[in-house]
Amino acid sequence: MCGIFGYIGKKDAENLLIEGLENLEYRGYDSAGIAISNNNKVDIIKHAGKVEELKKVLKEKHLLGNVGIAHTRWATHGLPSELNAHPHTDILKKVTIVHNGIIENYLELKKEYNLKTITQSDTEVIASLLAIMPEKDNLEKIKNATKLFKGTYALAIIFSNEPNIIYLAKKESPLMVGKSGDDIFISSDANAFKKYCKDFYILKNNEFAKIKYNKIEFFNKSKKINKKINKFLNTFSFENKNKYLMQDEIVQTPDALRETATFFNNFKNIKNYFNNVNKIYLVACGTAYHSCLFGKKYLEFLNIPIFTEIASEFKYSKHLIDKNTLCIFVSQSGETADTLSCVKKCKCKTLAITNVPNSSITFACKKTILMKAGWERAVASTKAYSCQLLVFYLLKCLLKNEKAKTNTLIRKSKEYLNKLNLKSLASKVLNYEKIMFIGRQGDYITAKESALKLKEISYINCTACPSGELKHGTLALVDDKTLIFLISTQKNLISKNLLTKEEIEARGGKCLIAGDFDEADIVLPHLSSDLMPIISILPFQSLACEVSIQKGYNPDKPRNLSKSVTVE
């Protein structure tokens, strides 16, 4: 949540900062701002709304200079307003700062140090505190101030007495530095400067950096340190063909599946990690949690207890974890705070399944399986979900010594997506007040994921229900304003599902069946039951996207949400 970008070099900072913010906007988009050093002063421009709004302001008034920091925000403390937008300063403008994370004790600090602030943001307290720190050296000020913080932070700081230096500090929220010739870039996601740099540094917790023209120095709490340089992993190239990222990302699914299947060969040793495992916990949030529900089905053959847990619940419950327990954490971003906090709680075998190398969850887990879905920026997860299911399928094949059959999956998903057009179905969805997704077994999990997709980007209040549960309560909601999508991909359940359709239609509701048989309303390609869930979600991802567009929304940036949820 929230994105930090920074630049020091010979080029004009403004355009680079804006480009960086546009790349990071998936992390938050309720306000944005930049600060640029020029002639020993730091100029700030910020605005409520998306980066687009900030760009309009900058058209009227450019900020000149080669040193700058920038921020795109997802509000935690205070309304998404210009006042609360970053960069923040202390009252005398000695310190300019952008911040990701939350300082939990900011009100206590404000009181204890009698800090004068004008915004509702915890970040302003950091700037105000730094401004009154007694140390002469700015790095020492930062080191000592951060000792007082309870919470999480990635900070980029410019002091007015050293306007050509950017200082960094990090705890839990990601922060990276890239260098290309004389140009130095800072970002909370290295992808945002990948276009310019071949390699980059990753700050670890309680590390600091002092960056000036052509020079980067790293420090831990006590001394200067050398850091290892990281190379970007090659990933498949894709074009942005459509208006929205989400449309592109759905279309990229077959490539993402192919890359992930090939890359999985690097993780075959993980098989040994399953030796002596006595139980498994699968832990995640949102869409990644739905892939865990499938993960349980894929791994059930192990005949050991397998539990699926929503991360924000898991951390408050009591568990039977011992040294032979395996906890698997699934996270596209690898940065989700709820999931990360669970990893820290688990003193046992830990395995991350993520799409982002070097992310916090991969660092925190003992083992990692990396997917290669490519950069996913639309808030609604699509191709990454498909790859998460694929990883669980591949894991099952590996553990069972079975040959994985991914070629047909990749070919059929490509053919299917090429001809998929749900514009007219989407316009029908708009005629109903209530939308439901139902199914049995794995199809019920697809129903849950479909409902999440539709609600998060179209704001339609929809729900998922196991088909058999309908008559135990939810059927009371069904009337002629209700549209129900019944997902039916299991041959032995078709007749039961047809009965459910009749029950719905007898109450005036409309029921559309999605299945891999000719009579279905949404006809899916046929694959083995193991691979069907990877195909059966595709029409519902596309449908959600199309409904959102037809309602006049931007599916990539739904209200109130952010791609990477780095607060608990």
**Cα–Cα distance for residue pair 83/297, rounded to 1 Å:** 49
Among 84, 119, 287, 536, binds ligand M6R (CB under 6 A): 287
Place of tokens 């993780």: 267
Query: Could you tell me the smallest distance in angstroms from the CB atom of residue 291 to ligand M6R?
Result: 9
- Kindly state the number of chain residues that form the binding site for ligand M6R, as judged by CB under 6 A: 16
The CB-of-381 to ligand M6R minimum distance in angstroms stands at 4
Say how far apart CA 350 and CA 331 lie, in whole Å: 13
Q: Is 286 in the site for ligand M6R (CB under 6 A)?
A: yes
Residue 333 or 482: the one with the smaller Cβ distance to ligand M6R is 333
Decide: 292 and 298 in contact? Cβ < 8 Å.
Answer: no
For the record, the structure tokens of 280 come out as: 């498994």
Q: Does 169 bind ligand M6R (CB under 6 A)?
A: no
Asked if residue 288 binds ligand M6R (CB under 6 A), the reply is: yes
Q: Which is nearer to ligand M6R, 333 or 413 (CB)?
A: 333
Give the nearer residue to ligand M6R in terms of CB position, either 146 or 333: 333
DSSP state for residue 330 in the 8-state scheme? E
CA neighbor of 88 nearest in space, from 59, 146, 130, 54: 130
What one-character-per-residue DSSP string does 364-405 give? HSSEEEE-------SSS--HHHHHHHHHHHHHHHHHHT----
According to the binding rule CB under 6 A, does residue 548 interact with ligand M6R?
no
Q: Does 308 bind ligand M6R (CB under 6 A)?
A: no
Counting other chains too, the contacts that 393-400 makes at CB distance below 8 Å and 24 or more residues apart are: 393/298, 393/530, 393/531, 393/534, 394/261, 394/264, 395/270, 395/298, 395/299, 395/369, 396/298, 396/299, 396/301, 396/530, 398/268, 398/270, 398/271, 399/271, 399/274, 399/299, 399/302, 400/301
Cβ nearer to ligand M6R, comparing 188 with 490: 188
Out of 89, 128, 312, 331, name the contact with ligand M6R by CB under 6 A.
Answer: 331
Q: Which is nearer to ligand M6R, 128 or 368 (CB)?
A: 368
Please tell me whether residue 359 binds ligand M6R under the rule CB under 6 A. no
Nearer to ligand M6R, 106 or 385 (CB): 385
Nearest residue to ligand M6R on Cβ basis: 286
Give least dist CB 384 to ligand M6R, A: 7
Q: Does 565 bind ligand M6R (CB under 6 A)?
A: yes
| Residue 450 contacts ligand M6R per CB under 6 A | no
Q: Which region, judged by CB under 6 A, interacts with ligand M6R, from 60-68, 283-291, 472-480, 514-522?
A: 283-291
**Piece of 260-268, 333-341, 429-437, 461-469 that binds ligand M6R (CB under 6 A):** 333-341
Stretch of 62-70, 213-221, 330-338, 411-419 contacting ligand M6R, by CB under 6 A: 330-338
Q: Which of 334, 337, 338 is nearest to 351 (CA)?
A: 334
Ranges of H-type helices in 379-523:
383-400, 406-419, 423-429, 442-458, 494-506
Residue 295 is a binding residue for ligand M6R (CB under 6 A): no
Residues 92-131, mask of contacts with ligand M6R (x by CB under 6 A): ----------------------------------------
Distances from the Cα of 390 to the Cαs of 297, 404, 406, 532, in angstroms? 13, 10, 9, 11
Does position 309 interact with ligand M6R (CB under 6 A)? The reply is no
Specify the long-range contacts of residues 352-359, CB closer than 8 Å, at least 24 apart: 352/328, 353/328, 353/329, 353/388, 353/391, 353/392, 354/330, 355/384, 355/387, 356/332, 357/233, 358/190, 358/202, 358/230, 359/174, 359/331, 359/333, 359/334, 359/335
Q: Which residues are catalytic?
A: 2, 563
Binding mask 335-354 for ligand M6R (x = CB under 6 A): -x--x---------------
Among 203, 261, 380, 447, binds ligand M6R (CB under 6 A): 380
Residues that bind ligand M6R (CB under 6 A): 285-288, 331-333, 336, 339, 379-381, 452, 456, 564-565
